[in-house]
Amino acid sequence: MTLTRRDFLRGTLGTTIGASVLGPGVLKAGWKASGSSLVTVVREKNAMDADNNVNTAALKTMLDQTLIKLTGKTTPKDAWLSLITPDDIIGLVPTPHLNPTHPEVVDAVKSSLVDAGISAEKIVDAQGGPDKPEACTALIGLPGLKAHWLTGIGTVMKLYIMYSGNPQKYHNENSANLGEIWNLPFVKGKTKLVLVDALHPLCDKGPQVDPRYKWAYNGLIAGTDPVAVETVCLRIIQEKRKKMRGESWPLSPPPICVEAADKTYGLGTSNWDNIKVQHYGWDEGSLLG
Amino acid sequence: MLGKLPDKFCVYTIFLFIAVLVILDGRVFSLKNGGSDLKNGRIDMNQSAPLLPKSVGMWTRPDSPQVVTDKNIFDYMDGAGELYLGYRFDRLDVYEYSAQAQKEILVELYFMKTSDDAFGLLSLDWGGDPVESISSSQDEEAADFAWPRALYGEGLLRLWTDNVYARVMAMQETPESKQAVLSIGRAIVKDRKSPPGPELMGRIKHSLLADWSLRRDRSHFFRTHHVLNSLYYLSHQNILDLDLKCEAVAAQYENRVSEGDKTRIQFLLVHYPDSNRAKQALGHFHEVYLPDHPFVTKTGPSGEIAGLFSVEEGWMAYSNRTEYIAFVFECPDEKTARLVLDQMF
């Protein structure tokens, strides 16, 4: 089956994606949430200065708050230890280029893990080919928030594209299949946390950066349900686009990978009503609708 | 007299040696700077590389560029490479100007196979401020129809000069880096031709039916369905059978009078290599996009095949004449859809 503009207008996208990816009548069961998926959005007005340099002290505070609010624990250490164990080989997976994850964010996560008693030798860079996740027992996704001209959004679902060993296989119409990478045997179940660098996101023309479409959101977005996190990211990008133009400005092409990750691959929920968004800190321009 | 001959000989020899060096250096510099001036044993002026200044303000570039071809473009820019391969791409030269205590200035020179393709890349986003000083004095386009040739915004300069599309980006915008970016832009366009935009863009009417006017900032030239999808989504699949041999325009019109949702219509015009390709493409489009409407070919007085349909977002219509297909989407009523296509052909 072929997806068209009319499927989106009729609201039959989920059915059409399921049928086109898996064949007619083979739609998988969607996300079976035991409750709602929690996504935290922590923002700090001074997280970057006027020249967009990262304030590392503010970033540390934001990260600590994210960990505590997301897990319900009282300290960052307890929060980490509820997500991972000291025996884990922990792979950090940042967005490597074209509006990449700020290195300060990666460093802050590393330091926080070490402070929690994790040996530095057990924390590795896991962005790259299939051998990277194979060597890890736990993954922490650290994508940069950005729109993408081929997939609509290029943040969470696209983060593991190199793990496929064949990234071009997931371009264009095949971007609906990005979720299958998360179900590869050497990836499945390893993602313990998705922490999105939303300090300085890109809302159009990604992945090639046009600074006119970047803005200081100064946020960290986190959750353990990757689809819910992506759905919140999508909301922020779409609201920013609407604000920039003063009218509806839908992402084109539409980000089919998000709904497919839910309805076809069962990775989480893309239903806004099933996502519990908790926002902390700087409220102005939160774009959460 | 005889005693002075060696001196003269020496002077002539040195002069000749210097002249040869200058010529050779120019050749070497040009090759370093561009990489493929010599093509099939001849100098292809259309492909000659702009001469970029070695230094501009505080910034200095390396002697030679990083050369990116269709073979390694994904290594350089991941999936963004599909954008450039969606036009007729030849190669990309990348320079990074650096300076002490300053962030870099990145210069990307995209050498396209035609001027239309370089125009198409700029046409994807008409945002930013037009830079008059970079529009060439040799502009071959009538002033009232002229499209901007250079656009600047927040540190990024994008420009079209003959077969080159360029992006010059200061990693941090300061008054100094802006001046440097604009100086590099002027060097890129210097002594290059400024042909008019694609002929197909000239077919787009500036107003329709008295009430509808063209949004010039939403008028784009393209060739492939990936690019179409980034402008106006129809389908993830290539239902218009587009490829690099096609040329197409997407344009939006805005109603000057009415208010509410139905204030815009979307127009597409595709030029196929021949009329058979156009007919086949129309059949493919209809089969996939309008499966609930029978494909009834109605031939008009000029031999065109036309159709009018009520769909989810208003009325749409198409018309195929020879190797062209025109489409209009999101019309508020049947009459508007029909009249728009009548005016366009």
Q: How far apart are CA B142 and CA B135, in angstroms?
A: 13
For residue B141, being part of any structural domain is answered with yes
One-letter amino acid at A289 equals: G
> Quick one: closest CA in A to B168, which residue?
A210
> Quick one: closest CA in A to B167, which residue?
A210
Task: Give chain B positions within 8 Å (CB) of A3.
Answer: 235-237
Q: Do B178 and B36 reside in the same domain of the chain? A: yes
What is the residue-averaged pLDDT of chain B? 85
For residue B11, being part of any structural domain is answered with no
pLDDT, tens digit (0-9, with 9 covering 90-100), for A199-229 = 999 999 776 889 999 999 999 999 999 999 9
Model pLDDT, residue B141: 53
For testing contact with chain A, the best of B215, B229, B261 (most A CBs within 10 A): B229
pLDDT, tens digit (0-9, with 9 covering 90-100), for B243-258 = 999 999 999 999 977 6
For residue A121, being part of any structural domain is answered with yes
Q: Measure the CA dihedral B70/B76/B77/B78, to 10°.
A: 80
Q: Is the pLDDT of residue A28 over 90?
A: no
The answer to whether the Cβ–Cβ distance between A149 and B230 falls below 8 Å is: yes
Task: Give chain B positions within 8 Å (CB) of A252.
Answer: 229-233
> Quick one: closest CA in A to B289, which residue?
A4
Q: Do B246 and B280 reside in the same domain of the chain? A: yes
Which is more confident, A242 or B29?
A: A242
Q: How far apart are CA A140 and CA A262, in angstroms?
A: 20
One-letter amino acid at B215 equals: R
> Quick one: closest CA in B to A17, which residue?
B236
Q: How far apart are CA B62 and CA A153, in angstroms?
A: 35
Distance from CA of A286 to the nearest CA of B (A): 23
pLDDT, tens digit (0-9, with 9 covering 90-100), for B57-101 = 999 999 999 999 999 998 898 888 999 999 999 999 999 999 999
Q: Do B274 and B184 reside in the same domain of the chain? A: no
CATH number of the domain at B134, please: 3.40.1000
Instruction: Find the distance separating the first CA and the last CA of chain B, reported in whole Å.
Output: 83
Which of A97, A150, A210 is closest, CB to CB, to B226?
A: A150
Model pLDDT, residue B33: 37
pLDDT, tens digit (0-9, with 9 covering 90-100), for B102-138 = 999 999 999 999 999 999 999 999 999 999 888 654 5
Q: Which residue spans within chain A are E strands per DSSP? A: 37-43, 90-94, 123-125, 138-142, 144-148, 152-153, 191-202, 219-223, 275-281
Using omega within 30 degrees of 0 as the cis cutoff, is the peptide bond preceding A253 cis? yes
Q: Which of B127, B155, B189 is the last residue of a domain?
A: B189
Strand B264-271 and strand B324-331: the pairing is antiparallel
Task: Decide if A207 touches B, using CB distance below 8 A.
Answer: yes
Domain count, chain B: 2
Q: How far apart are CA A37 and CA A274, in angstroms?
A: 6
Q: How far is CA A280 from CA A43, A45, A66, A222, in A?
A: 6, 11, 9, 12
The answer to whether the Cβ–Cβ distance between B128 and A212 falls below 8 Å is: yes
Distance from CA of B287 to the nearest CA of A (A): 11
Would you state the structure tokens that stand for residue B290, as one six-digit string? 């309008």
The sign of the torsion formed by the CA atoms of B56, B57, B63, B65 equals negative
Q: How far apart are CA A52 and CA A46, in angstroms?
A: 10
Which of B74, B226, B235 is closest, CB to CB, to A3?
A: B235
Model pLDDT, residue B38: 35
Per-residue exposure over A260-279, b if at least 16 CB sit within 10 Å of its own CB, e if not: bbbbbbbbbbbbeebbebeb
Residue linked to tokens 């959101």: A217
Q: Do B79 and B214 reside in the same domain of the chain? A: no
Domain of residue A263 covers: 36-281
Q: Do B116 and B247 reside in the same domain of the chain? A: no
Task: Give chain B positions within 8 Å (CB) of A210.
Answer: 125, 153, 156
The answer to whether the Cβ–Cβ distance between A211 and B154 falls below 8 Å is: yes
Distance from CA of B234 to the nearest CA of A (A): 5
8 Å CB contact between B221 and B202 = no
> Quick one: closest CA in A to B311, which residue?
A6
For testing contact with chain B, the best of A6, A205, A245 (most B CBs within 10 A): A6
Task: Give chain A positions within 8 Å (CB) of B104.
Answer: none
Q: How far apart are CA B260 and CA B258, in angstroms?
A: 7
Model pLDDT, residue B345: 75
The answer to whether the Cβ–Cβ distance between A98 and B231 falls below 8 Å is: no
Phi and psi at residue B2, to the nearest 5°: -60, -35
Q: Do B174 and B36 reside in the same domain of the chain? A: yes
Q: Do B110 and B253 reside in the same domain of the chain? A: no
8 Å CB contact between B79 and A171 = yes
| DSSP-H helix ranges across B270-331 | 275-289
For residue B333, being part of any structural domain is answered with yes
8 Å CB contact between A165 and A132 = no
Task: Give chain A positions within 8 Å (CB) of B74.
Answer: 167-168
8 Å CB contact between A216 and A48 = yes
Average pLDDT over residues A119-138: 98
Average pLDDT over residues B198-216: 91
Query: Which residues have C-beta within 8 Å of that of residue B199, sequence separation ≥ 6?
Result: none
Q: Do B37 and B185 reside in the same domain of the chain? A: yes
With bands split at pLDDT 50, 70 and 90, how would you rate the model's confidence at B171? very high
pLDDT, tens digit (0-9, with 9 covering 90-100), for A259-285 = 999 999 999 999 999 999 999 999 999
Q: Is the pLDDT of residue B12 over 80?
A: no
**Helix axes of A256-263 and A226-245: crossing angle, nearest 10 degrees:** 150
Q: How far apart are CA A118 and CA A111, in angstroms?
A: 9
Domain count, chain A: 1
Q: Which of B162, B189, B216 is the last residue of a domain?
A: B189
Q: Is the pLDDT of residue A77 over 70?
A: yes
Q: Do B174 and B115 reside in the same domain of the chain? A: yes
Would you state the structure tokens that stand for residue A46, as one six-digit string? 């001074």
Give strand pairing partners of B328: B267, B317
Residue linked to tokens 């509820």: A82
Q: Which of A175, A278, A171 is closest to B85 using CA atoms?
A: A171
SS3 B134: helix
For testing contact with chain A, the best of B233, B234, B329 (most A CBs within 10 A): B233
Model pLDDT, residue A205: 78
Q: How far apart are CA A57 and CA A8, in angstroms?
A: 44
pLDDT, tens digit (0-9, with 9 covering 90-100), for A151-187 = 899 999 999 999 999 988 887 778 899 999 999 999 9
Would you state the structure tokens that stand for residue B158, as one six-digit string? 């994008």
Q: How far apart are CA B59 and CA B57, in angstroms?
A: 6
Task: Decide if A49 touches B, using CB distance below 8 A.
Answer: no
Model pLDDT, residue B59: 98
Q: Do B92 and B146 reside in the same domain of the chain? A: yes
Q: Do B221 and B262 reside in the same domain of the chain? A: yes
Which is more confident, B3 or B264?
A: B264
Q: How far apart are CA B162 and CA B50, in angstroms?
A: 11
Task: Decide if A208 touches B, using CB distance below 8 A.
Answer: yes
For residue A48, being part of any structural domain is answered with yes
Q: Is the pLDDT of residue A243 over 90?
A: yes
> Quick one: closest CA in A to B155, which residue?
A211
Query: Which residues have C-beta within 8 Å of that of residue B269, sequence separation ≥ 6?
Result: B200, B203, B204, B248, B249, B251, B324, B325, B326, B327, B344
pLDDT, tens digit (0-9, with 9 covering 90-100), for B42-68 = 334 445 788 999 999 999 999 999 999
Model pLDDT, residue A17: 64
For residue A14, being part of any structural domain is answered with no
Burial class (CB in 10 A: 0-12, 13-18, 19+), A23: exposed
- Helix (H) / strand (E) element for B90: namely strand B89-99
For testing contact with chain B, the best of A1, A10, A172, A259 (most B CBs within 10 A): A172
For residue A240, being part of any structural domain is answered with yes
For residue A233, being part of any structural domain is answered with yes
Give strand pairing partners of B106: B96, B169
Model pLDDT, residue B295: 84
For testing contact with chain B, the best of A1, A3, A16, A160 (most B CBs within 10 A): A3
Domain of residue B164 covers: 31-189
Q: Is the pLDDT of residue B188 over 80?
A: yes
Query: What percentage of chain A has pLDDT greater than the value 70?
Result: 91
Q: Is the pLDDT of residue B265 over 80?
A: yes
Q: Is the pLDDT of residue A21 over 60?
A: no
The sign of the torsion formed by the CA atoms of A164, A167, A169, A174 equals positive
The answer to whether the Cβ–Cβ distance between A171 and B154 falls below 8 Å is: no
For residue A18, being part of any structural domain is answered with no
Model pLDDT, residue B323: 96
Q: How far apart are CA B224 and CA B244, in angstroms?
A: 6
SS3 A265: coil
For chain B, how many helices (H) and strands (E)?
8, 19
Average pLDDT over residues B312-322: 95
Model pLDDT, residue A18: 60
Model pLDDT, residue B30: 36
Q: Do B55 and B184 reside in the same domain of the chain? A: yes
Q: Is the pLDDT of residue A88 over 90?
A: yes
